[in-house]
């Protein structure tokens, strides 16, 4: 309820009470009169009822006017003065109090404004000094950012929760611009941003594997702390991602630096090399078979005629020429000279067995035996893809033959290391194995973007069925053996010490912990927000359609203008001229744009795990809710409304429109009645409101939501 309405209600109640008091006095006076006096007074009252009633009404009206004058001269101006003074001290130092009231109150306001002028001048001098220091710091940050931006590799820095703290344009182009289609590209764009999780872009299973492996290496005090893994883009490109842990002085992981490199072309050449080698082997076998057959015929029939001998010699010559044409191919040198860029690491076999055992237990609910190697065996592999290749075989094996027990082991065999997957039960038929190797490695909901054949080829090995010396069936793979590693305590060349890094962006996110449950006491200054607005064909959510969605993110108290969501939406219907006057969006601008079924999932991804903020958000949320059935998307994010928050902060103010609040808080309105422009203004308003809410002892998300629900404007329904 508005403050003035409260006072009007109070005036009405005062009038009723005054009437009751008058009636009680009259009644008591009437009892004290004698019967004769009552008759005389009653006759006087009856003869003059009109003038008496009019006099009473005039007295009550005069009392009401006096009370209203008192409210508007002393009470309400004083209330507005307090509210506007809080704006000056907490949000907008340039704001000045302007009101009409008593002479003393106006004099007090003039003195406050004069004092505010002096304070603003002093604060401006301090601010100039601070800004000069910031400019110098910003120059240093820009230099470092320019260096990082110029790296030929993509750079991404994450905290321990894999939230992005920094990324350069190269990383953006590698992870986003190679998206498979426009819809996929929009989805990737919405997932990459400060404070967002890298798990929205990279394979979650890979990232978890990387974290476990890096943690294990640090615990074992191994020197090679960095870790390579492969990532496949939506367009089929291949990226080499090198994860480097950032460690504290206590040798604990504090965050990660991801160096992203495009190895797509190298992998294409590698595929060409494999195809060429297969073709070369086939050609050599064919040529040698022809040559051998011709030579054997010559040796077996030494007395053959000259014509037959000439034919055999011609066969030998033709096969020799065919073989030379294959070997002398101009592309051979570049193809055979290239090296595979599949990300691999030197890995201890016992560690690999332990990972397989744990993953089989957690992912497949399968208990397997692992037999430790007799020696300190190391192999050069991509542990993630090899582990999942083994899990894929286990998954297929269990579904096909249902073995009673399964055992995995590594064993040295000459200069190679042999891996055996052994079980008790029926053997696997070759045709079944041939089907497996060309399938994507899907295990439950986890899908690895490689086939078993591709993984084996990149490791220069094959899978084949075998029978052990004990008579048990097994699947076998062979890997080249590498020299044993020497453990050292020197990590300086791989890990990055916190003290060696200059804080040049928003590294406060390193220590942020977010909670989005409104019941939790999450401080407003600690949360991540999505400020959004919609433009529609009209104001009836049940009939009208969304034609534009604009949003920006607030991370760590900063409005990130460079990370925005700005989409036009095809409503598949006409747009009324009345609404075009406000937002300026015409039908030809929406032709060819995606409809809400395509756009809303992108916005849902953009706003995931954040608090939604809007001005008069009840309308926008109703528009989104009306699309739940069509899109299958439901927004369960907590919501804050700057309209309601303004009523919490300034209950004595009459106007809480976007323009009025912006004027009070000293914010310039740009792009009014455009979705992104209104979202930008709303975001700036909210950041100004946080200190004002704190003056009302509102510090947490729950407190802000509870206070908003108690305002008069919270009654608005759509």
pLDDT in tens, 631-685: 999 998 999 999 999 999 988 788 889 998 998 888 888 877 788 999 999 999 9
Backbone conformation region of residue 368, classed left if phi is above 0, alpha if psi is from -120 to 50, else beta: beta
Q: Which residue, chain included where needed, has tokens 């080249």?
A: 480
How would residue 492 be classed by pLDDT, with cut points 50, 70 and 90? very low
Query: Is 219 exposed, middle or buried, given 0-12, 13-18 or 19+ CB atoms closer than 10 A?
Result: exposed
Evaluate whether residue 307 is within a structural domain.
yes
CA Rg value for the chain:
39
> Into how many domains does the chain fold?
4
Evaluate whether residue 312 is within a structural domain.
yes
**565: nearest Cα among 555, 583, 547, 552:** 552
Does residue 556 sit in the same domain as residue 705? Answer: yes
pTM: 0.56
From 35, 67, 90, give the residue that closes a domain.
Answer: 90
Does residue 606 sit in the same domain as residue 625? Answer: yes
Residue 529: per-residue pLDDT: 94
Does residue 352 sit in the same domain as residue 460? Answer: yes
34-58 average pLDDT score: 76
Does residue 526 sit in the same domain as residue 602? Answer: yes
User: How much of the chain exceeds pLDDT 90, in percent?
Assistant: 15
Higher pLDDT, 169 or 617: 617
Higher pLDDT, 123 or 687: 687
Does residue 674 sit in the same domain as residue 702? Answer: yes
What CA–CA distance (Å, rounded) separates 353 from 410? 8
Evaluate whether residue 362 is within a structural domain.
yes
Higher pLDDT, 187 or 263: 263
CB atoms closer than 10 angstroms to residue 455: 23
Backbone conformation region of residue 676, classed left if phi is above 0, alpha if psi is from -120 to 50, else beta: alpha
Evaluate whether residue 291 is within a structural domain.
yes
Q: Which residue, chain included where needed, has tokens 């993953």?
A: 359
Domain range for residue 577? 517-715
Q: CB within 8 A of 244, min separation 6: which ones?
A: 225, 226, 256, 257, 258, 259, 494, 495, 496
> What b/e string do you get for 381-410 counting C-beta neighbours within 10 Å, with b at 16 or more?
bbbbbbbbbbbbbbbbbbeebebeebbbbb
Average pLDDT in the chain: 79
Residue 494: per-residue pLDDT: 46
- The answer to whether 255 touches 158, Cβ cutoff 8 Å, is yes
Evaluate whether residue 237 is within a structural domain.
no
Does residue 330 sit in the same domain as residue 355? Answer: no
From 306, 337, 368, give the residue that closes a domain.
Answer: 337
Higher pLDDT, 711 or 91: 711
345-350 average pLDDT score: 84
Residue 680: per-residue pLDDT: 93
Does residue 430 sit in the same domain as residue 370? Answer: yes
Residue 597: per-residue pLDDT: 92
Q: Which helix (H) or strand (E) holds 273?
A: helix 264-300
Higher pLDDT, 254 or 38: 254
Higher pLDDT, 214 or 511: 214
**115: nearest Cα among 136, 98, 93:** 93
DSSP 3-state percent helix, strand, coil across the chain (nearest 5): 55, 20, 30
**257: nearest Cα among 189, 162, 172, 191:** 162
What CA–CA distance (Å, rounded) separates 126 from 337? 64
What CA–CA distance (Å, rounded) separates 693 from 163? 28
- The answer, yes or no, to whether residue 219 has pLDDT greater than 70, is yes
How would residue 548 be classed by pLDDT, with cut points 50, 70 and 90? very high
Per-residue model confidence as pLDDT tens digits over 413-433: 888 888 999 999 888 888 888
How would residue 615 be classed by pLDDT, with cut points 50, 70 and 90? very high
- The answer, yes or no, to whether residue 155 has pLDDT greater than 60, is yes
- What SS3 state is found at 494? coil
From 90, 116, 140, give the residue that closes a domain.
Answer: 90
What CA–CA distance (Å, rounded) separates 378 from 412? 10
Catalytic site includes residue 388: no
Residue 596: per-residue pLDDT: 93
Does residue 390 sit in the same domain as residue 277? Answer: no
Residue 190: per-residue pLDDT: 57
The distance of Cα 549 from the centroid of its chain, to the nearest Å, equals 18
The distance of Cα 30 from the centroid of its chain, to the nearest Å, equals 80
What CA–CA distance (Å, rounded) separates 699 from 260? 40
Evaluate whether residue 315 is within a structural domain.
yes
CB atoms closer than 10 angstroms to residue 51: 9
Evaluate whether residue 227 is within a structural domain.
no
Residue 191: per-residue pLDDT: 67
The first and second tokens of residue 702, run together, are 């729950």
Backbone conformation region of residue 404, classed left if phi is above 0, alpha if psi is from -120 to 50, else beta: alpha
What CA–CA distance (Å, rounded) separates 225 from 436? 34
Residue 88: per-residue pLDDT: 75
Higher pLDDT, 137 or 456: 456
Q: What is the CATH number of the domain that holds 692?
A: 3.30.420.10
Does residue 281 sit in the same domain as residue 367? Answer: no
Residue 208: per-residue pLDDT: 83
Least confident of 79-93, 321-335, 527-541, 593-607: 321-335
65-79 average pLDDT score: 73
- The answer to whether 196 touches 166, Cβ cutoff 8 Å, is no
* DSSP secondary structure string for all residues of 432-478: HHHHHHTSEEEETTEEEEEEHHHHHHHTT---EEEE-TTS-EEEEEE
**202: nearest Cα among 180, 229, 183:** 229
Rounded to the nearest 10°, the torsion over CA 373, 378, 382, 387 is 10
How would residue 17 be classed by pLDDT, with cut points 50, 70 and 90? low
Long-range CB contacts for residues 420-425, cutoff 8 Å, separation at least 24: 420/466, 420/468, 420/474, 420/475, 420/476, 421/390, 421/393, 421/394, 421/397, 421/474, 421/475, 421/476, 422/468, 422/472, 422/473, 422/474, 423/397, 423/472, 423/473, 423/474, 424/472, 425/401, 425/473
The distance of Cα 435 from the centroid of its chain, to the nearest Å, equals 38
Residue 496: per-residue pLDDT: 46
- The answer to whether 659 touches 677, Cβ cutoff 8 Å, is no
The distance of Cα 332 from the centroid of its chain, to the nearest Å, equals 46
Does residue 611 sit in the same domain as residue 700? Answer: yes
- The answer, yes or no, to whether residue 54 has pLDDT greater than 70, is yes
53-81 average pLDDT score: 73
- The answer, yes or no, to whether residue 518 has pLDDT greater than 60, is no
Query: Is 69 exposed, middle or buried, given 0-12, 13-18 or 19+ CB atoms closer than 10 A?
Result: exposed
Q: Which helix (H) or strand (E) holds 253?
A: strand 253-262
Residue 210: per-residue pLDDT: 84
- The answer, yes or no, to whether residue 175 has pLDDT greater than 90, is no
Does residue 358 sit in the same domain as residue 323? Answer: no
- The answer, yes or no, to whether residue 507 has pLDDT greater than 50, is no
- The answer, yes or no, to whether residue 133 has pLDDT greater than 50, is yes
The first and second tokens of residue 551, run together, are 């949003």
Per-residue model confidence as pLDDT tens digits over 261-273: 887 777 766 666 6
User: How much of the chain exceeds pLDDT 70, in percent?
Assistant: 80
Q: Which of 228, 231, 583, 673 is catalytic?
A: 673
Rounded to the nearest 10°, the torsion over CA 590, 593, 596, 601 is -140
Residue 154: per-residue pLDDT: 86
- The answer, yes or no, to whether residue 177 has pLDDT greater than 60, is no
Q: CB within 8 A of 346, min separation 6: which ones?
A: 224, 378, 379, 380, 482, 485
* DSSP secondary structure string for all residues of 81-93: HHHHHHHHHHT-T
Higher pLDDT, 199 or 332: 199
Does residue 464 sit in the same domain as residue 611? Answer: no
**267: nearest Cα among 308, 302, 239, 301:** 239
Residue 7: per-residue pLDDT: 53
What CA–CA distance (Å, rounded) separates 273 from 264? 14
What CA–CA distance (Å, rounded) separates 126 from 389? 63
> What b/e string do you get for 247-280 counting C-beta neighbours within 10 Å, with b at 16 or more?
beeeeebbbbbbbbbbbbebbebbeebbebeeeb
How would residue 535 be classed by pLDDT, with cut points 50, 70 and 90? very high
Residue 180: per-residue pLDDT: 43
Evaluate whether residue 583 is within a structural domain.
yes
- The answer, yes or no, to whether residue 405 has pLDDT greater than 80, is yes
The distance of Cα 51 from the centroid of its chain, to the nearest Å, equals 76
């Amino acid at each position: 309820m508005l403050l003035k309405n409260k006072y009007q209600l109070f005036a009405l109640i005062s009038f009723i009470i005054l009437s009751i008091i008058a009636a009680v006095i009259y009644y008591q006076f009437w009892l004290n009169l004698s019967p004769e006096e009552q008759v005389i007074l009653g006759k006087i009252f009856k003869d003059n009822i009109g003038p008496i009633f009019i006099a009473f009404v005039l007295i009550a009206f005069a009392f009401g006017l006096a009370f209203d004058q008192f409210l508007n001269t002393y009470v309400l101006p004083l209330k507005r003065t307090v509210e506007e003074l809080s704006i000056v001290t907490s949000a907008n130092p340039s704001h000045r109090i302007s009101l009409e009231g008593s002479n003393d109150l106006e004099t007090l306001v003039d003195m406050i404004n004069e004092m505010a002028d002096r304070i603003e001048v002093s604060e401006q001098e301090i601010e100039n000094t601070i800004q000069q220091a910031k400019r110098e710091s910003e120059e240093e940050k820009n230099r470092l950012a320019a260096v990082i931006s110029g790296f030929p590799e993509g750079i991404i820095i994450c905290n321990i929760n894999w939230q992005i703290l920094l990324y350069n344009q190269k990383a953006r182009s590698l992870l986003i611009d190679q998206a498979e289609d426009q819809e996929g590209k929009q989805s990737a764009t919405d997932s990459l941003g400060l404070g967002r999780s890298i798990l929205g872009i990279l394979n979650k299973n890979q990232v978890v594997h990387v974290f476990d492996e890096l943690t294990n290496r640090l615990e074992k005090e191994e020197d090679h702390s960095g870790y390579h893994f492969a990532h496949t883009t939506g367009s089929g490109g291949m990226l080499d991602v090198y994860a480097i842990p950032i460690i504290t002085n206590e040798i604990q992981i504090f965050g990660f630096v991801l160096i992203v490199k495009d190895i797509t072309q190298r992998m294409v050449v590698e595929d060409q090399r494999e195809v060429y080698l297969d073709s070369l082997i086939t050609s050599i076998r064919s040529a040698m078979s022809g040559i051998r057959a011709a030579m054997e015929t010559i040796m077996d029939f030494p007395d053959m005629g000259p014509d037959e001998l000439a034919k055999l010699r011609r066969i030998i010559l033709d096969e020799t020429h065919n073989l030379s044409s294959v070997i002398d191919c101009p592309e051979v040198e570049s193809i055979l000279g290239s090296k595979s860029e599949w990300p691999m690491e030197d890995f201890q076999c016992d560690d690999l067995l332990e990972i397989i055992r744990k993953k089989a237990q957690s992912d497949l609910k399968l208990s397997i035996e692992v037999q430790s190697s007799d020696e300190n065996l190391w192999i050069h592999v991509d542990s993630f893809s090899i582990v999942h290749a083994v899990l894929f075989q286990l998954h297929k094996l269990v579904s096909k033959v249902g073995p009673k027990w399964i055992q995995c082991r590594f064993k040295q065999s000459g200069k190679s290391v042999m891996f055996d997957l052994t079980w008790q039960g029926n053997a696997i038929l070759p045709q079944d194995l041939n089907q497996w190797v060309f399938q994507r490695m899907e295990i439950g909901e986890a899908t690895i973007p490689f086939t078993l054949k591709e993984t084996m080829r990149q490791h220069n090995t094959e899978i084949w069925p075998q029978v052990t010396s004990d008579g048990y069936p097994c699947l076998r793979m062979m890997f080249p053996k590498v020299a044993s590693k020497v453990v050292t305590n020197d990590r300086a060349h791989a890990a990055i010490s916190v003290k060696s890094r200059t804080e040049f962006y928003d590294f406060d996110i390193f220590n942020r912990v977010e909670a989005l449950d409104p019941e939790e006491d999450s401080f407003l200054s600690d949360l991540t927000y999505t400020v959004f607005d919609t433009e529609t064909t009209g104001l009836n959510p049940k009939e009208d359609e969304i034609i534009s969605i604009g949003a920006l993110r607030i991370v760590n108290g900063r409005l990130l203008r460079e990370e925005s969501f700005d989409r036009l939406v095809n409503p598949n219907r006409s747009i009324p001229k009345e609404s075009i006057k406000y937002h300026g969006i015409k039908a030809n601008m929406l032709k060819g744009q995606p409809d809400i079924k395509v756009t809303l999932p992108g916005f849902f991804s953009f706003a995931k795990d954040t608090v939604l903020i809007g001005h008069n958000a009840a309308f926008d949320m109703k528009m989104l809710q009306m699309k739940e059935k069509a899109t299958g998307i439901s927004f369960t994010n907590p919501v804050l409304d700057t309209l309601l928050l303004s009523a919490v902060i300034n209950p004595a103010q009459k106007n809480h429109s976007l323009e009025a609040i912006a004027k009070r808080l000293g914010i310039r309105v740009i792009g009014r009645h455009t979705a992104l422009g209104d979202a930008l203004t709303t975001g700036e308003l909210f950041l100004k409101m946080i200190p004002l809410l704190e003056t009302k002892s509102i510090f947490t998300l729950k407190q802000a939501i509870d206070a908003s629900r108690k305002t008069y404007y919270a009654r608005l329904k759509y």
